[in-house]
Amino acid sequence: MTEQVAPDTVTAAEAAVDLRKEFAEVGIGEVLDQLDRELIGLKPVKTRIREIASLLLIERLRKRMGLTTETPTLHMSFTGNPGTGKTTVALRMASILHKLGFVRRGHVVSVTRDELVGQYIGHTAPKTKEVLKKAMGGVLFIDEAYYLYRPENERDYGQEAIEILLQVMENQRDDLVVILAGYGDRMDRFFQSNPGFRSRIAHHIDFPDYNDDELLAIAELMLHDMNYKFDAEARSAFERYIALRKTQPLFSNARSVRNALDRIRLRQANRLVSDLDRVLSADDIMTLDAADVLASRVFEKGPGGAG
């Protein structure tokens, strides 16, 4: 008697997959390696992105084998303080989604409330729909998403944008991935006030602050990419700078480090040009010294700016 195979059953031969070959062909390993190079630390974030990439690779294979019937929910929430790499991870996530066939184009449209919410009746819907049109086939990254909801203002039009977003996130999830980003505590309150968003978010990823060693490594990586370097004394001075700057208001992790380096480079250039009779070598032009760092207002006693 011949054994009957159900139409929706995959035979062992049909199910055979060379996983290493699949992984290499789609190229997500390259994107993950790029993320490792671009971002210092953030081990929990990188681990979660690898897990999502693995899940999507398997989903891709399941779809090919007829083992899945609908597009998985891929909308995400990135929570953490400014300068912790959320935008960079969103860009790499878009690339992974594109390589695995879950979005058509793989681009990222980054917006805040101002691009979505109008200031008068009839203005919000066209603005929101125009942004969604630009983002289709890729990723819509909404930074500080909680500002969409302002319950204290009865005449605010943010709720209209929210309703349009929720509808599109549900009905067109095979053509758009939405990433909501912002401070963790504010995002929690936002989700509590808007349960429709929470129910549509598949992946919640928290971005931790960088520690002092990681911030120093970030600074040195940024300098390397710009063909600059600290001398030994400047490196030590910048370690002190980081420790002091973190105790001051408006510290934004890697963003504050980048801003500090811009000001240090400005002081270095001014120092070099102050002596026009000097003959400069490439090393002179590349090297930042301790004076360039220590001139920052961060080292002044008492409350001061973040120079």
CATH number of the domain enclosing 42: 3.40.50.300
pLDDT in tens, 125-174: 999 999 999 999 999 999 999 999 887 777 788 999 999 999 999 999 88
Predicted pLDDT at 1: 46
> Exposed, middle or buried: residue 28 (CB in 10 Å: 0-12, 13-18, 19+)?
buried
Same-domain check for residues 294 and 152? no
Is residue 7 one of the residues assigned to a domain? no
Q: Which residues in the chain show pLDDT less than 50?
A: 1-7, 12-13
pLDDT in the model for residue 306: 61
Do 203 and 216 lie in a common domain?
A: no
| 285 and 163 part of one domain | no
User: Looking at 146, 177, 207, which one is the last position of a domain?
Assistant: 207
For residue 10, what pLDDT is reported? 52
- How many Å apart are CA 221 and CA 195, to the nearest integer? 41
Q: How far is CA 224 from CA 189, 227, 278, 286, in A?
A: 40, 5, 25, 10
pLDDT at 305: 57
Structural domain total, the chain = 2
Examine the domain organization and report whether 160 and 218 are in the same domain: no
219 and 74 co-located in one domain: no
Say whether 60 sits in a helix, a strand or coil: helix
Residue 155 has what pLDDT? 76
The pLDDT score that the predictor gives to residue 68 is 73
Full domain range(s) for residue 219: 212-299
Instruction: Indicate whether 153 and 177 sit together in one domain.
Output: yes
Residues 27 and 113 grouped into a single domain: yes
Is residue 67 located within the same domain as residue 122?
yes
pLDDT of residue 12: 46
CATH number at residue 220: 1.10.8.60
| 166 within 8 A of 149, measured Cβ to Cβ | no
CB neighbours of 53 closer than 8 A, spacing ≥ 6?
28, 31, 32, 96, 100
Is position 127 within any domain? yes
